[in-house]
Amino acid sequence: MRLRTTILLTIICPLLLTLVGFSAVALWVLEDNMQQRQQEEVRLIAHGIRLPLTQALAHQDAQALQEGLSTTFSLSRLYGAFILSPSGQQMAGVGLAGGLQDDALLQKAISTAREAGGYSQQGGQNFYTYLLPMTDAQGAVLGVLQINRLATGIERYMSLMTTVALLLAALVGVLVVLMVWWGFRRYVDRPVNRLYRSMKAVQGGNRLHRMTPGGAREFRELGEAFNAMLDAVAHKEQEVREQQQQQLALERSLKKSRRLAEIGVLAAGVAHELGSPLTVIDGQVQRLQRRDDLPDDARQRLTRIRHETRRMEDTVRQLLDMGRRHTLHPGQHSLGHMIIEAERLARDALHFEPTHPRLVTHLPIQDVITVDRQRFQQLLDNLVKNAFQAGSQQVTLSADYSAKGVTLRIEDDGPGINADHRGQIFDPFYTTRGAGKGSGLGLTIVHRVVEDHGGHITLEESALGGAAFVITLPPETLLPPEATANADTTPDSEGETFPGNGEEAMPRNPDHD
């Protein structure tokens, strides 16, 4: 059942019934009061003329009876008065309703010698008839005084009063209904419909919809509570989504770390097996180059062999570094100084001019951080070198120090990294350059260094148009070394062994230059 129907049946209808009932009772009370006043009036008149009429009747003076009645009722248009004998015959009379006689009422008055009254009808008109027995000193009934009063005037008055009262009751009822209906529509129906539409909108999937509170205070509070509930639900859903994303990111990071660890163990083993042969090859090439009778063409080929051997040694060294478990030796170092060193090494390795590409830094005045200098320098070397190799005109390094830790951002204006490659950019041996132009281990080592320092690295789009690597380090990075703990690092044999074999790293040829 709709709310408006419920209001109509439980409030308006009972209110109207109460109003009609009250009006009916009031009219009944009014009518009864008027009848009592009419009867009392007739009774007083009858008792007022009873004595002289009784004396005239006792002396059988018909003329005196007629004169007594005429004197009292000759000018009245509402009354009629008659003297009846005990047998019911009219002895004298004047006024209205002559001959009107109720035999049962008359016999009752004579037999009981008490007054009696009732309503009678004659000629389509209603009369109130009052009978008063007239007795002698011994109590014998000499006759009966009958007074008739026309009830037409009273009925018209009562009918008019009833009509006016009913019309007034109907008017008041209509006004009450309209007022209740208007109040219901304005202060109940509209706020409820507004809340209902808001709930339907949310049910339809519009989670951003909010209700505009209005109406009475209760409905405003209800609307505000509804909006607060939606905000709380949205907040909880956002928290759940963030937790799911964090969980997925942690799972991906864990899988990647396990894969890197497995690949690192394998790579370290391969690098160890390749290290000794490469050292022998490089040593023999150097001995051949010392011969004086070596033709120029052969000497150039030997130089090319040494160059490729060095490149292979660099790859083997990177493999060993990736597979090795490192013990960090944190210390406080200037980030600006390490960036300058990384820039110098990158320009020397790539034979770039000192001013091209341009390197811009935005660092705090106090740029000291607590890191392992050798490992973090290796991280910066790889990132700066990669940015220079991308064909950038400008490379920007910025750092933000806060209570949450250190955020280091390295970005360039190069071509950037295709979205298809971003999920694999930190995988070992994965490179976007052609064959022979990179080992694909640089960013893998960067990722490993960041994890060793308890941070994480992400790849984003740069405002300059190229790629942006964002490194986030924990708050411990801003503390002195003695305040940090290294419980999650495992020492190795002088930092030169890799897990799984306990052998030494690739030896260096003393003749290698």
What is the Cα–Cα distance from 410 to 462, expressed in whole angstroms? 9
Residue 486 in tokens? 């290294």
Pairing of strands 394-402, 358-362: parallel
In this structure, how many other beta carbons lie within 10 angstroms of the beta carbon of residue 206? 11
Taking the C-alpha atoms of residue 407 and residue 332, their distance in angstroms, rounded to an integer, is 17
From the list 272, 318, 281, the residue with the least C-alpha distance to 439 is 318
In sequence order, the 6+-apart residues with CB closer than 8 A to the CB of 459 are 417, 422, 425, 467, 468, 469, 470
The position carrying tokens 């037999």 is 111
Provide the token pair at 60.
């059988």
pTM for this model (two decimals): 0.43
| C-beta atoms surrounding 232 within 10 Å | 10
Q: What are the CA-CA distances from residue 36 to residues 42, 116, 129 (Å)?
A: 10, 14, 13
- CATH homologous superfamily for the domain 3-161: PAS domain (3.30.450.20)
The gap between the terminal CA atoms of the chain, to the nearest Å, is: 97
- Using only C-alpha atoms, what is the Rg of the chain? 60
What architecture is the 210-324 domain classified under in CATH? Answer: Orthogonal Bundle (1.10)
Per-residue model confidence (pLDDT) at position 297: 82
**So where are the chain's domains?**
3-161, 210-324, 326-491
Mean of the per-residue pLDDT values of the chain: 77
Which residue from 132, 52, 66, 53 is spatially nearest to 94, judged by alpha carbons? 66
d(Cα 176, Cα 11) in Å, to the nearest integer?
11
Q: Which of 86, 147, 136, 146 is nearest to 111 (CA)?
A: 86
Q: Report helix, strand or coil for 228.
A: helix
Q: What is the CATH number of domain 326-491?
A: 3.30.565.10
- DSSP SS3 for 7: helix
Contact 42, 148 (CB under 8 A): no
Max distance between CA atoms of the chain, in angstroms, equals 194
- The dihedral over CA atoms of 204, 210, 216, 219, expressed in degrees to the nearest 10, equals 50
Residue type at 438? G
Give the span between the Cα atoms of 50 and 155, in whole angstroms. Answer: 28
- Mean pLDDT by runs of 10 across the 513 residues of the chain is 69 76 76 77 81 80 78 65 83 75 82 84 78 83 82 64 76 79 77 82 82 77 85 89 88 74 67 71 80 80 79 68 69 91 86 84 90 88 87 89 92 82 71 60 83 88 87 90 56 37 36 37
User: Tokens representing 461?
Assistant: 């789009």
Q: What is the pLDDT of residues 43-93, one digit of tens each?
A: 888 788 878 888 878 787 778 777 777 777 654 666 788 888 888 888 888
Q: Are 320 and 506 in contact (CB under 8 A)?
A: yes
